[in-house]
Amino acid sequence: MFAASVAVGGAAQAVVAESADGARFDAFLDQAVQHYQLPGIAMGVIEDGKLVYRGTRGELVAGQGAAINDDSLFKIASNTKAMTAAVLARLVQAGKLRWDDPVTKHLPQFRMQDPWVTRNMQVRDLLIHNSGLGLGAGDLMLWPEPNNFDRSDIIAGLAHLKPTGSFRSEYAYDNLMYVVAGEVAAAAGGKPYAQLLREEIFQPLGMQRCQVGAWSPAAVGNIAQPHQRDGKRNVAAERDPPQLTDFPSMAAGGVRCSLNDMLRWMQVLLDPAQAPGWLDATQRRALWTAHMPMPISQRLRDWDNTHFYAYGYGWRLSDMDGQWKVAHTGTLSGMYSSLALLPDRRTGVVILINGEGEDARTALMQAMLKHYTAPAGDVDVLHYAQLIETAAAQRRSAGHVRPALPAARAATVAEFGSKAGVWQDPWFGEVSLCRRDGKLQFASVKSPRMTGQVMRAGERWYVSWQGLGEDADAWLEFSGDAQQPRLQLRAIDPDIDFSYDYPDLEFQRRDDCR
């Protein structure tokens, strides 16, 4: 055991300090809900180390009447990464590992495509998106969920993913390395990742409602469900079963916490005195050190006057109007989170949304932070919503939209000919392009939700996925010869989510349809 014995109180018992800004924060929250028609949201603010605001709106499930409150659980998605990094920092502090340990010291089976990278990949490299792999490489082993990949599949699959750049030369966001990081923690700590997270983070810090690993939503209750937009309605999608398993991507984005839990997490990060001895100054500094430079977008320059942008251990670091900012976002289908800290002010904001809220979290967080970094500007959520919508209109006018396809129809087995059959990719595994239920379908063995009907548009073929939305649809591109036929997938929509990692797939035909 190396969970510190720290006497702390959970945020659920904390009293909100008096704040003259509560009405303004309420207004911002209402603007976000109304403008973006959100099913539900929770937002909290720590100011100078004190809890000054908690606000919730909407329902756990739209239309069912159960209101979101401070203890409702949300998927925090990639805000999990900071917790994974903190578990590793605790292990370093306890002498169980070092940041510069080779990954193979703890996971001898770890392999990258390049043997030199395999030998030289350190624990710290797993956290800072510098592996040389492309954006979202291998994410189809993680999402869509549920699927049949396990952590050993993911680690084995890394050897087949081709780098797009040199190791440690450039930033490219990566989820798979955080899965590896979770397994390094488990090996060094002698316990499963989920148990370590409970013992090293949740229990000592009093984050009483957070869930990780296998757990029962039916028993825990008060859980916000993800939603998708259906016309003018929010519809619950991918609702929880009574029991959840410890799925492979847990260390990259699998934690659920309440608003109260996240406020407690923020307080401890902003003020070490909240949990004496939990994490020493050396390891706190390591988490928030700029380890990997990141490109600065024009929007960051225009909105925040940003001069530096870098990745720490599980955190994005930047300057905003001359103030130090430490932040991260989280995105899973139908769930969005955002957490931003201004450490020199001991101030932070957290936002949790259970609907399609990418633009909502951006506009709301921006308005909230500007309240502290540039109060004279007097801007609100609608100001940033307008800027986002103008930029989106410009992208559409520049052609960054799903192209209009020729009249499409269902493909037939007869015209598909020898393209039908069983195909194999080295890391994604087996898929079939065969007749199922009277239709020509693409179906993955390892990822059952990657099932869709093969369509023909002009002289081209594409997959129309079942239940994933047309934004994910992909062209089927065939090459090679009769002896070595090849199949690749290409996104139709240029703005497809990067986790649909089609560029890294390269199938070879293995057999006829069975």
Domain-wise residue ranges, the chain: 22-93+180-395, 408-511
At 14 the pLDDT is 57
- Is residue 94 within 8 Å of 128, Cβ to Cβ? no
Name 445's Cβ contacts closer than 8 Å, sequence gap at least 6.
148, 429, 430, 431, 432
Give the chain's radius of gyration (CA, Å): 23
Quick check: helix, strand or coil at residue 58?
strand
Cβ-proximal residues to 261 (8 Å cutoff; 6+ apart), any chain = 10, 11, 202, 207, 208, 209, 210
- The residues, any chain, with a CB within 8 Å of residue 24's CB and separated by 6 or more, are 371
Give which of 112, 391, 142 is closest to 252, Cα–Cα: 142
Q: Give the H/E segment covering residue 73.
A: strand 73-75
Dist CA 373 CA 6 (whole Å):
33
Q: How many CA atoms lie within 13 A of 8 on its CB side?
A: 27
Residue pLDDT, tens place only, 494-513: 889 999 999 999 999 999 99
Confirm or reject CATH 3.30.360.10 for domain 22-93+180-395, answering yes or no: no
pTM, two decimals, is: 0.94
User: Integer distance in angstroms from the first to the last C-alpha of the chain?
Assistant: 52
460 closest CA partner among 431, 492, 493, 507: 492
pLDDT tens string 139-188: 999 999 889 999 999 999 999 999 999 999 999 999 999 999 999 999 99
pLDDT of residue 55: 98
In angstroms, rounded to a whole number, what is the distance separating the alpha carbons of residues 30 and 25? 9
Rounded CA gap, 136 and 133, in Å?
Answer: 8
Residues of the chain with pLDDT below 70 are 1-19
pLDDT at residue 470 in the model: 82
Specify the pLDDT at position 12.
40
